[in-house]
Structure 1
Amino acid sequence: MTVSKYVVVGAGLAGAATAWQLASQGHEVTILERSVPANHAGSSHGSARIFRYAYPEDFYTRLVVESKVGWDELARLSGKQLITPTGAVDYGSTRQPERLASVLAANGVEHELLSADEARSRWSQIAFDTNVLWHPGAGVIDAETTVTAMVDLAVAEGAQLETGWEVSALRPSGKAYTVHSADGRQLEAENIIVSAGGWLPDLLGNLSLPEAFLAQVPRIHVRQEQAYHFPYKDGSPEPAENWPTFIHKREGIQTYGLPGGRDAEWRGQKVAEYNGGKILPSASAQDGRIDPANRQRVIDYVKEYLPGLVPEPYAETTCLFTNTPTEDFIIDKAENITVVSPCSGHGAKFAPLIGQFAADLATGAAPVPEEFRVGVRSQPATH
């Protein structure tokens, strides 16, 4: 039977980052991926995720600043552009741009507060309805290229990548664990890092985790989100770099958008409702179907608030958000099993740092922030 010092389950952003960190530290690593890295059934595919610094909590903005160091190192080592700079605007009656600005100021992040009229004079393609926070350091993450870069670096450092390896259970085996696959294969490992994203609800009960730990794991909701690509109007600012990413938050609803990049053939904006999709028991229940009511709400939103777009989507897709009730991540360890991060729709920007935290926790090199330990946070999120 194959034996490995560290096994990472899942090769999305968090798992790939963890494997890269472990391998670069000289550890023996095997990556087990149920399909292929950054596959379209998971949450880390495609070329369009938002990188931003603006959070109403100092904790997360500080982590973005720290994470950017890892992004710069990853770009240097891979020789690839992973974040395309666009800047970001935040606005809306419940987005609190003034509060966001105070957090950015406390962390030395460049930003401006603009009136709605000032913002419209810069970005006439957006119909702002409140004051606006602008921070130019934001951008768009190419998630798929990032995963590939981290896996390639891990493999170059000696990691083994096993694709088509669907983990079904872990069982204690002396001082180690036996990892069982859905097709009957087995692998022995001393330490397991489980970064299974939307498949975690299916796996949790089969990981041989202590009951006391399992009882503290927050309820995990998997959502099948929906996103739509709208073409730029003739005469509107083009190309896409003239469009910032945006978060527009009103009472009871949040809409976001970003240049669609490769996913949208470089000719449109990706627009979606945040947590607007149906809740699934796990990723295995996704069906890829678009809710017509959700589509119409987003079309109506584009008509009202995005005059620079044609309000007719030319492409649409579904993807998975795996959420905790507080939208905080999970990075915690029980015995030699480390559970990593349902990332609640905002985790992509932290990928290098999540990998560092998970690797340090798994090896015992350093603790993780208490906010990511199970059972610690209980207040609703404001991210």
Structure 2
Amino acid sequence: MNASQYVVIGAGLAGAATAWSLARRGHEVTVLERTRPAAHDGSSHGSARIFRYAYPDAFYTQLVIRARGGFDELERLSGNRLITATGSLDFGTIRDPKTLAAVLESAGVEHELLSAAEARARWPQIGVDTDVLWHPGAGVIDAETTVTTMLDAARHHGAQFFSPWPVSRVEATANGYRLNSGDGRTIDAERIVVASGGWLPALLDQLPLPAAFRATVPALQVSQEYAYHFPYRDEPASGPVWPTFIHKSEAIQTYSLPGGRDADYRGQKLAEYNGGRRIPSALDQDGVIDPANRQRIVEYVQHYLPGLVPEPYAETTCLFTNTANENFLVDGIDGITLLSPCSGHGAKFAPVIGDIAADAATGAAPVPERFTASAIGAAAHV
């Protein structure tokens, strides 16, 4: 039997970031991962996630600024490039570029407001249909490399990592908790952080949470999302440079980014935001693409993206774990911290979310009120 002061369940972006933050503070940390870090069937795999500052809520923009400092530190420590600069476009009838620009202005983030004609002249491969916000500091996060880099940094400070180690049940003990793998292995912990992504809904009832607190934990809606890679009409070396973009209209909400390693560097990743299939938990995913969603995205490319060939050459599924208001869950009781910083936009916050979760787990500082279970639950009933 092993024992550790802190055990982190899950080695995705959130779990790895929390382990790094706890370990560099001098705490004894063990990370347990169900299969492998940044597992392909989770939410932190691959090389392509959007990094952006544009939010209508200044709270999140300030959080991105803090997170960027963590990414910069990781890059300095490791020599790995974790964010590739591309810039980002925000447009669409319900994206409200002017409000986004006002938030970036107040935060001191470089940006431009462009007319649709100006944007089409600069990026002819994208058929924007409204005024556009451009901010050049945005880019693409290599999620998997970020996970492995944070785990390496945690190990540098003494953290241990065990994989495969699926947690099936947690029991209270006199000194904390005993985690069971289901195959006879156990590990004891004084405190635990549950960062199991889309597996969290299935694991909640296997945690010894007090009934009163368990009743406040908001519903976490897991969805199997669909993403597609479309080839560029012109090779990036000779054609226009592709930014990331978010397009929100009454008809459809999409996001897109250069596909990086996931797309052999020859295509753009494109997906409908929250266009996937709702499932009870990650245990229920099947990895099957919905043909109707594929057709909708192909038609979107035909209409809005003349710079792409409207025939996907690769496609994949991934998981969103959503709260009702898309705020993150970071809350706990009696030495158990629940961590669900996804809702489809969590990757860019990884380093700072690790710090917030470590604050919650150690009691070093309170978490932002909006991340508490009671605040998320209250918002869900408004």
Match of 2:35 in 1: 35
- What's the CA shift string for 1:140-182, capped at 9, x where partnerless? 0000000000011111211110001000111110021111112
Alpha-carbon deviation of 1:233? Answer: 0.4
Match of 1:140 in 2: 140
Contact 1:23 1:157 in 2 (8 A): yes
Name the CA distance, whole Å, in 2 between partners of 1:379 and 1:126. 36
Match of 1:86 in 2: 86
Alpha-carbon deviation of 1:368? Answer: 1.1
Name the CA distance, whole Å, in 2 between partners of 1:181 and 1:54. 41
- What's the CA shift string for 1:233-283, capped at 9, x where partnerless? 03x754698111000000153111000000000000000000000001110
| C-alpha distance 32-10 of structure 1, shift in aligned 2 (>3 A) | same
Alpha-carbon deviation of 1:341? Answer: 1.5
- What's the CA shift string for 1:298-338, capped at 9, x where partnerless? 00000000000000000000011111111100001211001
Superposition TM-score, scaled by structure 1 size: 0.97
Tell me the percent identity.
65
Name the CA distance, whole Å, in 2 between partners of 1:364 and 1:240. 52
Match of 2:327 in 1: 328
Alpha-carbon deviation of 1:212? Answer: 1.4
Contact 2:50 2:141 in 1 (8 A): yes
Q: Which moved more, 1:153-162 or 1:45-54?
A: 153-162
> Counterpart of 1:124 in structure 2: which amino acid?
P
Q: Trace 1:222-371 onto structure 2 (pairs within 5 A).
A: 222-234=222-234, 238=237, 242-251=241-250, 253-371=252-370
Alpha-carbon deviation of 1:39? Answer: 1.1
> Counterpart of 2:209 in structure 1: which amino acid?
L
> Counterpart of 2:34 in structure 1: which amino acid?
R
Contact 2:125 2:240 in 1 (8 A): no
Q: Is structure 2 residue 374 aligned with structure 1 residue 375?
A: yes
SS in 2 for 1:165: coil
Aligned-CA RMSD value: 1.2
Structure 1, unmatched stretches of 5+, are: none
Contact 1:324 1:342 in 2 (8 A): no
> Counterpart of 1:335 in structure 2: which amino acid?
D
Name the CA distance, whole Å, in 2 between partners of 1:178 and 1:92. 50
Alpha-carbon deviation of 1:213? Answer: 1.3
Match of 2:60 in 1: 60
SS in 2 for 1:167: coil
Name the CA distance, whole Å, in 2 between partners of 1:74 and 1:330. 24
Match of 2:153 in 1: 153
Match of 2:221 in 1: 221
Name the CA distance, whole Å, in 2 between partners of 1:24 and 1:239. 44
Name the CA distance, whole Å, in 1 between partners of 2:214 and 2:237. 50
| C-alpha distance 281-239 of structure 1, shift in aligned 2 (>3 A) | farther
SS in 1 for 2:21: helix
Name the CA distance, whole Å, in 1 between partners of 2:153 and 2:59. 29
> Counterpart of 1:206 in structure 2: which amino acid?
Q
Name the CA distance, whole Å, in 1 between partners of 2:187 and 2:251. 47
Name the CA distance, whole Å, in 2 between partners of 1:238 and 1:299. 24
Alpha-carbon deviation of 1:193? Answer: 0.4
Name the CA distance, whole Å, in 2 between partners of 1:238 and 1:315. 21
Name the CA distance, whole Å, in 2 between partners of 1:375 and 1:184. 36
| C-alpha distance 268-320 of structure 1, shift in aligned 2 (>3 A) | same
Contact 1:220 1:342 in 2 (8 A): no
Name the CA distance, whole Å, in 2 between partners of 1:225 and 1:23. 33
Runs ≥4 in structure 1, deviation > 6 angstroms? none
Name the CA distance, whole Å, in 2 between partners of 1:309 and 1:278. 26
Match of 1:186 in 2: 186
| C-alpha distance 240-355 of structure 1, shift in aligned 2 (>3 A) | farther
Q: Is structure 2 residue 156 aligned with structure 1 residue 121?
A: no
Q: Which moved more, 1:208-217 or 1:192-201?
A: 208-217
- What's the CA shift string for 1:201-232, capped at 9, x where partnerless? 11001110111111111111111100000000
> Counterpart of 1:272 in structure 2: which amino acid?
A
Superposition TM-score, scaled by structure 2 size: 0.97
Name the CA distance, whole Å, in 2 between partners of 1:93 and 1:237. 29
Contact 1:228 1:315 in 2 (8 A): yes
> Counterpart of 2:147 in structure 1: which amino acid?
V
Match of 1:7 in 2: 7
> Counterpart of 1:93 in structure 2: which amino acid?
T
Name the CA distance, whole Å, in 1 between partners of 2:239 and 2:346. 23
